[in-house]
Structure 1
Amino acid sequence: MELSKRAIQEFALAVTNSTTPGNEQPEPINVFAIILFILTLIVAGACFILFDYTFQVVKILTIVEDLPSDYDLASPAYDPIDGDSEPEDGGPPHYRDEQHDETNVDNNGVPKIAPGLYLGGSPDIHGKYITSSFRKALRYLRLEAGFWSPWRGFSVNIVYSVAASCVNGIFRSMFPFPFGKYIAGVLVMMVVSPLGLVHTHVVIAPPTKETWFGRLSRLPFRSILHTLPAALLVAITGQATYAFPDIMVKAFVPSRAFDDPPPEDDDNPYQSMLTPLQCLAIYSVFLASHVFLFIPSMIILYRVQASVYAATEEAIIPFERVGAQNVVQAWRSYTWEGKKRLIRLYAKVMPVVWLAAFGVGTLLFFEMRWVMGAKGHVLDVILHTWLKNQFGRAP
């Protein structure tokens, strides 16, 4: 937005100019403050990225894991052949279930176990789901797949993000009109959907020497085609989640507020900024569209992607192998128990993330003020103006 650009320009101008007339004696640079600010920024950024990705991994596992009530999750499911969980050629591991006794079978003689459960079931969960809590899911992942398992598939996720950014730049240039960026966003999601499919399969797969590129190369083309409707649904709802607030901002803020320079008859060029009630309305629309549109479509996408997971491969979590599902089947097969686990995951994790973001943001603000020295009053002016425009007053 132009208001943000104007604030950045004023901030840069204040930093480059000296506080003394004529710029005779520039203020010395505080090297220690700069180093501290950069280290805080790097460490905080890395922690947020890793935690956000871990949350994404657990979220995928929570959505995919969903079993009928007559399955015995406490009993071991599969033992590796000859004590080796992975063939020498690096291919998918093979398992056997010969250790089950006759009391753990149904009327047809089929063991009541979770299909695809990796290496002996969940660790001491007393019949509950592996993803019944965030910490329990992490403990299970590290027990079954090692310390780095919460970041499984991180490499393909990086490739996915880079590819999406490059393709988005191409499509944005093809649709230069105002809402062309949302059309570009939908097309980008469709183009990189094979990488998203591979990422989901890597997350739910047991540890293997096979690279994500090897998994992509042997991925059936019909599996990619089967997941495209679900990917299209996520793309549309995701872009709508950001389009609705954008439309509201353009409706609430007069066009003259974006003029550069601002109108001369205005005492405060920022007086046309959003009011607190308008901010609340925009955030409410964003939150409602995210919860009721984007998250359900995301659930459908992950479950459709898991449904085309090869039946010959084991998975690190239990889920029913009922064959490829369409959009409607994926949503209907998601039980209320699975929805409750996902709601608990968001309810427990998101407040911690918001609190951490607020704390880090406050710390960076004061460190930046320390870096700027005497010019730090510019940050006070920016903060004072923002508080006054948002709440009508400022300390």
Structure 2
Amino acid sequence: MIPAHSFAKRGMEMANHAFSMKQQADEPDVHQIPPLAALIFLLTCVAFFVLLAAISYTYGHLITTLCMVESSSSNAYVPIHSVEPAEDAPPAYTEDGVPKPNDAEVNIVRTQPITASLRATILHLTAKAGFWARLRGLSVYFVWNFARSIVVGMLSAASSNPFGMMIAAIIAEILLANLHMTWIHVIISEPSPKKWYQRIPTPFFKTWKKIVPAVAVWAVTSQVVTILPMLVTGTFGPMRHMQDPNYDPGMKEAYATAGQLFFAMFLTIALVVLLQIPATVAMVRVAASMLPEEDETIVPFDRTFGGLTTPEIIGGQGKIGIVEAWRSFNWECRRRLLRTVLKVAVIMMATWILFTTVALIEAHLLFGPAFGEMMKSMHGVANRGS
């Protein structure tokens, strides 16, 4: 991960280099970028990227993972006198037909799943674990992703081939399977006095062997969803000739390219729905089935998966299989997850549109005529560098 200030420094160097070349050529109307304006613009970009990252983590990772774990419905058992009746609700009756308004007998009140609503999920998390519960598990998430980037970098250092990168990413996920499972355990369970590194499952190799098949399937599908649309789209039409320096596309080719990009987008969506989501659900639920007995889940969760799992103490594996993990996630749960994913996509898209609009308006107000010159200069320097 490259720090934001490195991008800013590189961008300013490119812009200053381009402007100095124009000054040497005695070209008129060279616009200087005010340092304060550049700083304000940079801080705005950093703030929006932090906001996008927080939204992505809370809604795209944390809540969707809880949605994959939560049971389709939960039963809340409360005394009848603690429930505020509606004004037009009839009184409770005994078997003899005699009203009993003060009876403290326990009734069953069926409620919808917590993760059916994004707002309800956030309120539930903050009530259980405080305001920062929306970022719970962030430390182990950073460690896991940092370790993964190091492993991928080491394995793919000798090759820039996309397939080599894909294989390196899959191997990295398999090697770090226990760390991935630790992150899942941290976010689906109630607050624990233990540090995250104290919650890494033990014995290490034994638990790794149990979780690695599900992680391997998830890693492969993730790479297929990322690579396959680009590979397929690049085998036909104008995009097949994009690497040809002598290729001179016209308006017809521009329309065809736009059509190919839409095809790539729909292919990606189809692969996400048909491959990545089922693989992710199976992997998360397999990891959840291995949650230690002393840890309570923060959302309602059936540890037995309808009787499909058997504890190790009585001779079972102590986990659920990949196929059973997906099958136990019924259609009601699947629809709830798809609705959650759609809501998250809309939130991310709206945030990105807001960021783009604010950035463009701010750039024009802060830089004025220098904005266009800066973009042209940076584009020219980038082309010479490549």
Please say if 1:245 is aligned against 2:207: no
Instruction: Map 1:57-68; keep pairs closer than 5 Å.
Output: 57-67=62-72
- 2:56 — aligned with what? 52
> Displacement, 1:53?
0.9
- Structure 1 pair 31–226 and aligned structure 2 pair: CA distance change class (3 A): same
- 2:297 — aligned with what? 315
Please say if 1:222 is aligned against 2:224: no
Whole-angstrom CA distance in 2 between matches of 1:224 and 1:104: 44
Kept in 1, the 8 Å contact 2:211–2:287? The answer is yes
Instruction: Map 1:85-100; keep pairs closer than 5 Å.
Output: none
> Displacement, 1:352?
2.1
Give the alignment's TM-score, normalised by structure 2: 0.74
Kept in 2, the 8 Å contact 1:61–1:317? The answer is yes
Give the alignment's TM-score, normalised by structure 1: 0.73
- Structure 1 pair 25–351 and aligned structure 2 pair: CA distance change class (3 A): closer
User: What one-letter code is carried by the residue in structure 2 that aligns with 1:354?
Assistant: M
> Displacement, 1:362?
2.7
User: What one-letter code is carried by the residue in structure 1 that aligns with 2:242?
Assistant: A
- 2:279 — aligned with what? 297
Please say if 1:364 is aligned against 2:348: no
- 2:75 — aligned with what? 72
1:286 to 261, 268, 275: 268
- 1:326 — aligned with what? 321
Secondary structure in 2 matching 1:28: coil
- Larger mean Cα displacement after TM superposition, 183-192 or 357-366: 357-366
User: What one-letter code is carried by the residue in structure 1 that aligns with 2:271?
Assistant: S
Q: Unaligned stretches of 5+ in structure 1?
A: 1-7, 77-101, 106-111, 113-124, 383-395
Whole-angstrom CA distance in 1 between matches of 2:270 and 2:328: 24
- 1:27 — aligned with what? 31
> Displacement, 1:174?
4.9
Secondary structure in 2 matching 1:73: strand
Secondary structure in 2 matching 1:72: strand
Whole-angstrom CA distance in 2 between matches of 1:156 and 1:309: 16
1:153 to 137, 160, 183: 137
Kept in 2, the 8 Å contact 1:299–1:331? The answer is yes
**RMSD, aligned α-carbons:** 3.4
User: What one-letter code is carried by the residue in structure 1 that aligns with 2:76?
Assistant: L
Kept in 2, the 8 Å contact 1:300–1:331? The answer is yes
> Displacement, 1:314?
1.6
Q: Unaligned stretches of 5+ in structure 2?
A: 1-9, 80-103, 310-318, 378-386
List per-residue Cα deviations over 1:288-334 (Å, max 9, x = no partner).
11121111111111100000111232221221122410101101111
The count of aligned residue pairs is 326
Please say if 1:341 is aligned against 2:346: no
Please say if 1:180 is aligned against 2:164: yes
State, as a whole percentage, how many aligned pairs show the same letter. 26
Whole-angstrom CA distance in 1 between matches of 2:201 and 2:293: 17
- Larger mean Cα displacement after TM superposition, 307-316 or 272-281: 272-281
Whole-angstrom CA distance in 2 between matches of 1:39 and 1:219: 46
Kept in 2, the 8 Å contact 1:197–1:224? The answer is no
User: What one-letter code is carried by the residue in structure 2 that aligns with 1:257?
Assistant: M
Kept in 2, the 8 Å contact 1:14–1:378? The answer is no
Whole-angstrom CA distance in 2 between matches of 1:364 and 1:219: 50
- 1:94 — aligned with what? none
Secondary structure in 1 matching 2:116: coil
User: What one-letter code is carried by the residue in structure 1 that aligns with 2:51?
Assistant: C
- Structure 1 pair 217–286 and aligned structure 2 pair: CA distance change class (3 A): closer
User: What one-letter code is carried by the residue in structure 2 that aligns with 1:16?
Assistant: A
Whole-angstrom CA distance in 1 between matches of 2:256 and 2:331: 39
> Displacement, 1:223?
2.6
Whole-angstrom CA distance in 2 between matches of 1:234 and 1:217: 20
Kept in 1, the 8 Å contact 2:15–2:374? The answer is no
List per-residue Cα deviations over 1:53-73 (Å, max 9, x = no partner).
111111111110115x6x523
Whole-angstrom CA distance in 2 between matches of 1:14 and 1:249: 38
User: What one-letter code is carried by the residue in structure 2 that aligns with 1:22?
Assistant: D
- Structure 1 pair 255–276 and aligned structure 2 pair: CA distance change class (3 A): closer
- 1:393 — aligned with what? none
- 2:19 — aligned with what? 17
User: What one-letter code is carried by the residue in structure 1 that aligns with 2:276?
Assistant: F
Whole-angstrom CA distance in 2 between matches of 1:165 and 1:381: 33
- Larger mean Cα displacement after TM superposition, 171-180 or 284-293: 171-180
> Displacement, 1:130?
1.7
Whole-angstrom CA distance in 2 between matches of 1:146 and 1:279: 43
Instruction: Map 1:249-268; keep pairs closer than 5 Å.
Output: 249-252=233-236, 253=238, 257-259=242-244, 262-263=245-246, 266=248
2:40 to 36, 48, 51: 36
Instruction: Map 1:131-146; keep pairs closer than 5 Å.
Output: 131-146=115-130
Whole-angstrom CA distance in 1 between matches of 2:44 and 2:117: 30
